[in-house]
Amino acid sequence: MNTRTRIIKYLQYFMVLVMTSGIIIAMYYGSIPEKYNLKSGDISPYDINATRRVTDTQTTKQRAAQAQAETPDVYLYDQNAASSSLQNVYKFLDAVIFSRQEYRNDLLEQDPESDEVIEPIAYADQLKTRLSDEIGVVLSDETSVMLIDMDDASYESLSRHLEDISSHIMSLSISEENLPVRIISEVSKAADFDVFKIDRNIPVSILNILLKPNMAYDKSATDAARALAYNTVMENPVLIEKGTRIISYGEIITPDKYELLLEMEIINTGEFDFLYLGGVILLILMIIVFVLFFIQKTEKDNIQSLRDKIAVAVAMLIPFILSFFFVKLSVFAPPVYITALLITAYYGFRAGVFMSVFLSFAVFPLTGFDPKFLFVAITGSFVASLFTIGISKRNNYALIIISTTLTCFLSTVAMDILTKSSLRETLFDSVYAVASSSVSIILALGFMPLFEMIFNSVSPLKLIELAQPGNPLLSRLFTEAPGTSQHCVMVGNLAEAAAEAIGANPLVARVGAYYHDIGKLENPDMFTENQTGYNPHDDLDPNRSVKIITSHPEAGLRLARRYRLPPIIIKMIYEHHGTSKQAFFYHKALELSKSGDMPEPDPNDFKYRTSRPSFKESAILMLADTVEAAMKSTGVNELEKAEVLIRKLVRHKIEEDQLMDSDLSFRDIEQIIQSFLHVYSGHFRIRIKYPDDNSDTK
């Protein structure tokens, strides 16, 4: 690598670095929200709206704390507590029965003549002592005496209900709060108490003493439930939608509102947001990688030179710079459609659509990440690219403007309706969308001539200009090599028909055909179509003749570059013979070698030293050129014979591997053959001879 090449290479890297840095800086400062010099307690001199959808953290935390506080304690069923309560009931009844039995036995054993009175209170005291010792409960004197002194039927009813009620209550989930209520409820259902005239307060008081809650407080479960309630609210935060009024003019900024403004990062704290800058850098680098990967995988034959890559970069950079300023007016103002039209016009539909999508993602942060912009920009760019395909007339430009503008208008209205925007907002947005799309297309059309001049790119307008007969090169070809000029016109007809048949670019095919033989201008008389009788090759040996004949693609390459023809046309000029062999002079050399006039020829010396066709239009030109020359030299004028000859010529090109780099399929080749036959069917048509009408009309 020489010094000049190295300097150019480093200069390219430096320019890419500078341009990328500029884009990053523009995106950072263009997308970061406006910051205010305010603090808590200030009176706001502005109406401040939410610049993006944001979480109201303070309100969310308040609601989460409230949900946590309102979560009740968690109790778990304790089988041991239930069993202990029932055991207390059984021990209580056993103790009561024992004391009652002692009391009854002592009454029966008392001497009837004795004046001593056996009082139940002594046995009641014994019962109280026994219950205190065995189960740790203390009965009142009144209840103890009643239990000792009540009749057997009443006691049987009481004990039976105490067991049943206790068993039922302990089978339920009973907490400390609902135990007294449940006891009263269950006791009130028992009818026998009224029959035996038992005070219902007695069983209630007994059960309140004996029964304990069977639901134990679980601190860990309670903490987990409250944490779940808190986290549930925090995971579903209170959201403030973009555009919501946060602070009104003249309003005092409370600490909560100030925290919200800090969260939205619109308070000027004097800190540089390195994290946000990192996100911007990551986004830009991803877009650049995607663009380069897309070009390498799908467009490397179309966008291959440094000039092409710079042209694509400029076509994306100009709308981005304009978007930086226009987005302040409206999110629909960025003129991204410039990229769609320019790149589609010069590099095709696929490149135009993808590059405009990449640009839309680059502009997306400048709009505050508004999804409506992304939808409108992508749909508008797609339609602009779609209507730019195959443009061949100036009045088609009006169609591009109308279709793109209408699409952007309808997309904007649809998005505003779906997002429930007001009528005023919809009208405002649609006006900017229409203005942006129409102005973008007009700017792109006006920029095309300058674009072509700077980057020597090819557009439909440029191709139309090159196809005009008054073009300097075509004029030279017509006057200096008329036979070649006629040949090029016929090849153009064949190539255009074939390109239309397989979906290639017919305008590129035609213009390439018009210029493919301009190299013959260096020595037009050496080619048979320009000769008027004398053939100079009759006096030359085959080796000399073949060098002259096979040099015309390289001569055409030099001439095309001098006249600044587009790269795609230059490539077609250089590739239209590929590496095929000049058969006529090779066979002439073979005949001379057989007669001993010259040594046996090397076949490689009779091949063109150019490259094979590398894209469809170039391959079509090769086939059209071969067919037209053969049809003229053989004098075939019948369609059946023409088909046989054309198929033979095409098969020969396939066998020579001339079409292997062109991306043509066998289906494409068959359609090309049929299109050639269709052209020649009109060419062979014989004019009908009308009978004389014996009139004097001339």
Task: Dump pLDDT digits (tens) for 414-450.
Answer: 999 998 888 999 999 999 999 999 999 999 888 877 7
Residues in a beta bridge with 155: none
For residue 516, give every residue at least 6 positions away whose Cβ sits within 8 Å of its Cβ, in sequence order, or none: 488, 491, 556, 572, 573, 576, 621, 625
Asked if the model's pLDDT at residue 506 lies above 80, the reply is yes
CA–CA gap between residue 253 and residue 38 (Å, rounded): 9
For the chain, give the longest Cα–Cα distance: 181
**pLDDT of the residue at 687:** 45
Are 339 and 316 spatial neighbours (Cβ–Cβ below 8 Å)? yes
> What are the backbone dihedrals phi and psi of residue 617, each rounded to the nearest 5 degrees, phi first?
-60, -35
The least confident of 37-51, 307-321, 474-488 is 37-51
Written as six digits, the tokens of 523 are: 């020595």
Q: Is 196's pLDDT higher than 70?
A: no
**Cβ atoms of residues 639 and 673 within 8 Å:** no
Between 399-413, 520-534, 637-651, the lowest mean confidence (pLDDT) is in 520-534
Q: What is the mean pLDDT of the chain?
A: 84
Looking at residue 404, what is its pLDDT? Answer: 93
Q: How many CA atoms lie within 13 A of 429 on its CB side?
A: 24
CA 46 to chain centre: 37
Answer for the pair 211, 135: CB distance below 8 angstroms, yes or no.
no
Rg (Cα) of the chain, in Å, rounded?
50
CA distances from 174 to 78, 84, 86, 222, 502 (A): 10, 14, 14, 17, 85
Predicted pLDDT of residue 115: 64
Torsions phi, psi of 157, nearest 5? -65, -45
Mean pLDDT of 499-513: 89
Per-residue pLDDT at 689 exceeds 70: no
What are φ and ψ of residue 435, in 5° steps?
A: -65, -45
pLDDT tens-digit profile of 164-181?
Answer: 999 999 988 888 888 899
Q: Which residues pair with 247 in a beta bridge?
A: 48
Q: Say which residue, 110 or 681, is predicted with more confidence.
A: 681
pLDDT at residue number 573 = 93
Report residue 675's pLDDT band, with 50, 70 and 90 as the boundaries: very high
Is this model's pTM higher than 0.75 or not? no
Q: What is the pLDDT of residue 30?
A: 82
**How many Å apart are CA 340 and CA 382, to the nearest integer?**
7
* Cα–Cα distance for residue pair 281/386, rounded to 1 Å: 32
The residue with greater pLDDT, 275 or 573, is 573
The pLDDT score that the predictor gives to residue 301 is 67
As a whole number of angstroms, the distance between CA 77 and CA 432 comes to 68
CA–CA distance, 170 with 164 (Å, rounded to integer): 10
- pLDDT (average), residues 62-67: 90
User: According to the model, what pLDDT value does residue 456 have?
Assistant: 62
pLDDT of residue 694: 46
Half-sphere exposure of 322 (CA within 13 A, CB side): 21
Q: What is the mean pLDDT of residues 204-225?
A: 88
For residues 541-568, average pLDDT:
86
pLDDT in the model for residue 377: 95
pLDDT at 117: 66
Quote the pLDDT of residue 374.
93
Q: With 50 as the cut, is the pLDDT of residue 393 above it?
A: no
Q: What is the DSSP letter of 692?
A: P
pLDDT of 451 over the 80 cut: no
The answer on pLDDT for 457 being more than 70 is no
pLDDT at 302 over 90: no
Place 198 in a pLDDT band, splitting at 50, 70 and 90.
Answer: confident
Residues 6+ apart with CB under 8 A from 170: 82, 83, 85, 86, 211, 214
Torsion of CA 628, 630, 634, 637, to 10 degrees: -30
Residues 6+ apart with CB under 8 A from 437: 337, 380, 384, 404, 405, 407, 408, 409
What is the per-residue pLDDT for 532? Answer: 78
DSSP string, 584-619: HHHHHHHHHHHTTSSPPPPGGGGB--SPPP-SHHHH
Which is more confidently placed, 370 or 585? 370
User: Is residue 620 very low, low, confident or very high in pLDDT (cuts 50, 70, 90)?
Assistant: very high
Rounded CA gap, 149 and 151, in Å? 7
What is the pLDDT at residue 394?
47
**What is d(CA 357, CA 349) in angstroms, rounded to the nearest whole number?**
12
Residue 145 has pLDDT above 50, yes or no: yes
